[in-house]
Amino acid sequence: MTSGLRKTHLIMWLMIAVISPIILIITIKNLNIFDSESVIVLSNTNQKKVLVEDDFFKISLDDLSENHSIEIIVKKPLKASETSVFSLNKKGEKDLFLGQITTTGVYTFKCNQVSGIAFFDTIKNEFITKYTF
Protein backbone atom coordinates (compact mmCIF):
# COMPACT_ATOMS: atom_id res chain seq x y z
CA MET A 1 0.00 0.00 0.00
CA THR A 2 1.44 3.34 -0.97
CA SER A 3 1.43 6.42 1.23
CA GLY A 4 -1.44 7.97 -0.78
CA LEU A 5 -3.59 4.86 -0.31
CA ARG A 6 -2.76 4.71 3.42
CA LYS A 7 -3.79 8.35 3.83
CA THR A 8 -7.08 7.79 1.90
CA HIS A 9 -7.75 4.62 3.89
CA LEU A 10 -7.23 6.48 7.19
CA ILE A 11 -9.51 9.35 6.15
CA MET A 12 -12.28 6.95 5.05
CA TRP A 13 -12.19 5.01 8.33
CA LEU A 14 -12.25 8.23 10.37
CA MET A 15 -15.27 9.45 8.38
CA ILE A 16 -17.06 6.14 8.99
CA ALA A 17 -16.24 6.36 12.71
CA VAL A 18 -17.71 9.86 12.94
CA ILE A 19 -20.74 9.48 10.64
CA SER A 20 -22.00 6.10 11.95
CA PRO A 21 -22.82 7.28 15.53
CA ILE A 22 -24.47 10.43 14.16
CA ILE A 23 -26.74 8.39 11.87
CA LEU A 24 -27.52 6.02 14.74
CA ILE A 25 -28.54 8.87 17.07
CA ILE A 26 -30.74 10.48 14.40
CA THR A 27 -32.42 7.13 13.73
CA ILE A 28 -33.17 6.53 17.41
CA LYS A 29 -34.65 10.02 17.81
CA ASN A 30 -36.98 9.44 14.84
CA LEU A 31 -38.42 6.18 16.26
CA ASN A 32 -40.94 8.07 18.47
CA ILE A 33 -40.40 5.73 21.40
CA PHE A 34 -40.06 8.71 23.70
CA ASP A 35 -43.42 10.16 22.70
CA SER A 36 -45.61 10.32 25.83
CA GLU A 37 -48.91 10.66 23.92
CA SER A 38 -48.69 7.12 22.51
CA VAL A 39 -48.22 5.70 26.01
CA ILE A 40 -51.31 7.52 27.26
CA VAL A 41 -53.41 6.29 24.34
CA LEU A 42 -52.32 2.70 24.88
CA SER A 43 -53.13 2.78 28.58
CA ASN A 44 -56.58 4.28 27.99
CA THR A 45 -57.66 1.64 25.46
CA ASN A 46 -57.27 -1.22 27.95
CA GLN A 47 -60.74 -1.32 29.54
CA LYS A 48 -60.89 -4.95 30.64
CA LYS A 49 -61.96 -6.25 34.02
CA VAL A 50 -59.31 -8.60 35.43
CA LEU A 51 -61.00 -11.60 37.02
CA VAL A 52 -58.08 -13.89 37.93
CA GLU A 53 -54.33 -13.43 37.91
CA ASP A 54 -51.82 -16.00 39.14
CA ASP A 55 -48.47 -17.45 38.06
CA PHE A 56 -49.86 -19.25 35.00
CA PHE A 57 -52.87 -17.24 33.82
CA LYS A 58 -54.32 -13.77 33.65
CA ILE A 59 -58.01 -13.91 32.83
CA SER A 60 -59.89 -10.72 32.00
CA LEU A 61 -63.42 -10.06 30.81
CA ASP A 62 -64.39 -7.45 28.24
CA ASP A 63 -68.03 -6.80 29.02
CA LEU A 64 -68.06 -3.19 27.85
CA SER A 65 -68.86 -4.04 24.25
CA GLU A 66 -71.97 -5.79 22.96
CA ASN A 67 -69.98 -8.92 22.13
CA HIS A 68 -68.67 -10.28 25.40
CA SER A 69 -65.21 -11.74 25.16
CA ILE A 70 -62.84 -13.31 27.61
CA GLU A 71 -59.10 -12.82 27.29
CA ILE A 72 -56.72 -15.41 28.68
CA ILE A 73 -53.02 -14.65 28.89
CA VAL A 74 -50.92 -17.78 29.41
CA LYS A 75 -47.74 -16.68 31.19
CA LYS A 76 -45.95 -20.02 31.60
CA PRO A 77 -46.08 -23.13 29.42
CA LEU A 78 -48.66 -25.71 30.44
CA LYS A 79 -47.74 -29.35 31.05
CA ALA A 80 -50.68 -30.56 28.98
CA SER A 81 -50.02 -30.40 25.25
CA GLU A 82 -53.68 -30.05 24.32
CA THR A 83 -55.73 -27.92 26.68
CA SER A 84 -59.37 -27.09 26.03
CA VAL A 85 -61.13 -24.13 27.62
CA PHE A 86 -64.75 -24.54 28.76
CA SER A 87 -67.14 -22.16 30.41
CA LEU A 88 -68.67 -23.32 33.67
CA ASN A 89 -72.36 -23.25 34.46
CA LYS A 90 -73.82 -22.24 37.84
CA LYS A 91 -73.25 -25.76 39.24
CA GLY A 92 -69.54 -25.67 38.39
CA GLU A 93 -69.79 -28.21 35.57
CA LYS A 94 -68.31 -27.66 32.11
CA ASP A 95 -70.83 -26.06 29.84
CA LEU A 96 -69.68 -24.58 26.52
CA PHE A 97 -66.47 -25.23 24.61
CA LEU A 98 -64.67 -21.90 24.10
CA GLY A 99 -61.46 -22.98 22.38
CA GLN A 100 -58.01 -24.53 22.78
CA ILE A 101 -54.76 -23.30 24.28
CA THR A 102 -51.48 -24.68 23.01
CA THR A 103 -48.58 -22.40 24.04
CA THR A 104 -47.92 -19.22 25.96
CA GLY A 105 -49.59 -16.14 24.55
CA VAL A 106 -52.83 -14.19 24.45
CA TYR A 107 -56.08 -15.97 23.61
CA THR A 108 -59.44 -14.26 23.14
CA PHE A 109 -62.71 -16.18 23.14
CA LYS A 110 -66.20 -14.85 22.46
CA CYS A 111 -68.72 -15.87 25.09
CA ASN A 112 -71.91 -14.82 26.84
CA GLN A 113 -72.15 -14.38 30.57
CA VAL A 114 -69.92 -16.96 32.26
CA SER A 115 -69.72 -17.97 35.89
CA GLY A 116 -66.35 -19.64 35.55
CA ILE A 117 -63.65 -21.09 33.31
CA ALA A 118 -62.28 -24.63 33.27
CA PHE A 119 -59.04 -25.80 31.66
CA PHE A 120 -59.41 -29.41 30.56
CA ASP A 121 -56.72 -31.84 29.36
CA THR A 122 -58.39 -33.67 26.47
CA ILE A 123 -55.69 -36.35 26.21
CA LYS A 124 -55.82 -37.46 29.86
CA ASN A 125 -59.51 -36.55 30.11
CA GLU A 126 -59.12 -34.60 33.36
CA PHE A 127 -59.45 -31.04 34.63
CA ILE A 128 -56.25 -29.02 34.94
CA THR A 129 -57.80 -26.17 36.91
CA LYS A 130 -61.10 -24.34 37.41
CA TYR A 131 -61.77 -20.69 38.17
CA THR A 132 -65.17 -19.46 39.32
CA PHE A 133 -66.10 -15.79 39.24
Q: What is the pTM of this model?
A: 0.58
* pLDDT range class, residue 41, cuts 50, 70, 90: very low
Torsion of CA 116, 122, 127, 131, to 10 degrees: -20
Return the DSSP state at 7. Answer: H
Reported CATH class of domain 48-132: mainly beta
Give the mean pLDDT of 119-131.
87
Domain extents in the chain: 3-39, 48-132
Q: How many CB atoms lie within 10 A of CB 70?
A: 23
pLDDT averaged over every residue in the chain: 81
* pLDDT range class, residue 44, cuts 50, 70, 90: very low
